[in-house]
Amino acid sequence: MGLFDFLKRGEAPAPEPEVIPEPAPTEEPVPAGEVVRIEIRDTPEKFAPVAKELVPFLVDHLRALAELEADMFRRERELEKKKLDMGIPKHQTAPGWEELVEDYTNRYGQAARAFCTPKLLERGYARSWGRPGEYDYLNTGCDLIFTMKSARRAVVEARHTRVLLFRYQFVLKDTEDGWRVDQKSYAHGLDDSWHLHHI
């Protein structure tokens, strides 16, 4: 049968049933020193030891968000499979969807409040999920550049390549509650146009 033979007969071929592929297993997180390369740049010697405190602090919290996102992706796939098994059309919401999103938003918000300032949280959080996740580069390989020029402010820039160079900048401030991420920005390639972003 030719590609357009169904036009001659006046009927369309029956659609193939949709198959949701199983997501590939997520790589196990790797200790920061093995996959995350850290460089201290433009930092007076007296502030260099602070990198040993702040970089693991940031990496640990971002990896926790990556784990939440991976869990959400897995749970969403399970819901979609159940929906298809129940014969619910693809364009309709799966039973339990709203509860799933609410749970993700609550858990993500709780995790983000542990290391972000209210100012950053006001920009929003838990807006999406997927694979690869927002912070998966911390488990698959990236460079972190630590810069600290004053006692109460530090900047960590994360660089990783996924077809093109992605750059994220985290501004940490020493607050009454300890060190917190106060701002997140992103840039692509070597362009120094930074754009504010949410956590």
Digit-by-digit pLDDT tens for the chain (199 residues) are 454 443 344 444 444 444 444 444 434 444 544 589 999 999 999 999 999 999 999 999 999 999 999 999 999 999 999 999 999 998 899 999 999 999 999 999 999 999 999 999 999 999 999 888 999 999 999 999 999 999 999 999 999 987 789 999 999 999 999 999 999 999 998 888 999 999 9
Could you tell me if 53 and 47 are in contact, meaning their C-beta atoms sit under 8 angstroms apart?
no
pLDDT at 34: 59
Could you tell me if 169 and 194 are in contact, meaning their C-beta atoms sit under 8 angstroms apart?
yes
Which residues have CB under 8 Å from 66's CB, separation 6+? Answer: 133, 134, 135, 136, 138, 139
**Does the global pTM surpass 0.75?**
yes
**158-164 long-range contacts, Cβ below 8 Å, gap at least 24?**
162/132, 162/137, 164/188, 164/189
pLDDT at 35: 83
pLDDT at 10: 47
pLDDT at 90: 87
Residues in the chain: 199
Cα separation, 33 vs 38, in Å, equals 8
Architecture per CATH, 35-86+97-197:
Roll (3.10)
pLDDT at 42: 96
Give the count of beta carbons closer than 10 Å to the beta carbon of residue 53. Answer: 11
Give the count of beta carbons closer than 10 Å to the beta carbon of residue 49. Answer: 10
